[in-house]
Amino acid sequence: MAAAGLWHVTLTVAGLEQPPAEVLGALERLSAERPFFLSGRYASGRAELRYWEEAEDCGDACAMALRVWFEHRESAALPPWQVVALEVVARDEHQRRDGATLSAAGGWHPFDE
């Protein structure tokens, strides 16, 4: 069995517009349930979550990422949005792209629209 690796995940969800304060509240509840989220952005009709996932391979990391929003939809009172984008990048590739091994924890910020 291969050793687990660290994968940088960017998950984007979107759907019908919601009041931005409600979206932020939902994301904060999600963060309380899953404190591994590093940062994200949000708007009235979409949200982007960025975090590190530990998994044996990219396929496993993708599968886990695709479940996050749906597994917490009721408990965190998340908007009924769908996944519209997913990027999973190996730690080395993320470091090569961004020049840093880890992203700074930052909280939730509005998209610049």
pLDDT of 101 reads: 45
pLDDT of 23 reads: 95
Q: In what order do the strands lie in the sheet with 5-14?
A: 82-90, 5-14, 46-55, 37-42, 107-110
Burial readout 52-63 (b: 16 or more C-beta within 10 A, e: otherwise): bbebeeeebbbe
pTM of the complete model beyond 0.75: yes
Token reading at 17:
């517009």
Mean pLDDT by runs of 10 across the 113 residues of the chain is: 81 97 93 82 95 93 94 95 96 75 60 66
pLDDT of 15 reads: 98
